[in-house]
């Protein structure tokens, strides 16, 4: 069975090194307490959701296919 491993290191690199999101978060008072650990935790949990919940749906989509019911 195929497995999806989210590219966490790539996403963290883009968020922190390319986009420098920490500077953007500091510009908004409601997000001023956001830190790197929190952002990484959100990315990790999103990756878990994608691999454990979303990815398995591909199997049923591939086996069952899709149909248009015109009622």
Predicted TM-score (pTM) of the model is 0.78
With a pLDDT cut of 70, the percent of the chain lying above it is: 99
Q: Where are the domains of the chain?
A: 8-58
Q: Give how far Cα 23 sits from Cα of 4, 8, 11, 12, 44, Å.
A: 31, 21, 17, 15, 21
Instruction: Concatenate the DSSP letters of all residues of 4-22 into one string.
Output: ----HHHHHHIIIIIS-HH
| Contact of 52 with 5, CB cutoff 8 Å | no
Q: What's phi and psi for 34, nearest 5 deg? A: -65, 135
- pLDDT-based confidence at 38, cuts 50/70/90? very high
* 60: confidence class by pLDDT, cuts 50, 70, 90: confident
Per-residue pLDDT reduced to its tens digit, 39-52: 999 999 999 999 99
């Amino acid at each position: 069975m195929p497995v999806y491993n989210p590219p966490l290191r790539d996403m963290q690199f883009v968020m922190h090194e390319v986009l420098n999101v920490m500077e953007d978060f500091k510009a908004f008072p409601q997000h001023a307490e956001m830190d790197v650990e929190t952002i990484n935790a959100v990315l990790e949990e999103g990756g878990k959701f994608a691999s454990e919940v979303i990815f398995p749906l591909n199997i049923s989509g591939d086996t069952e296919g899709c149909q248009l019911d015109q009622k």
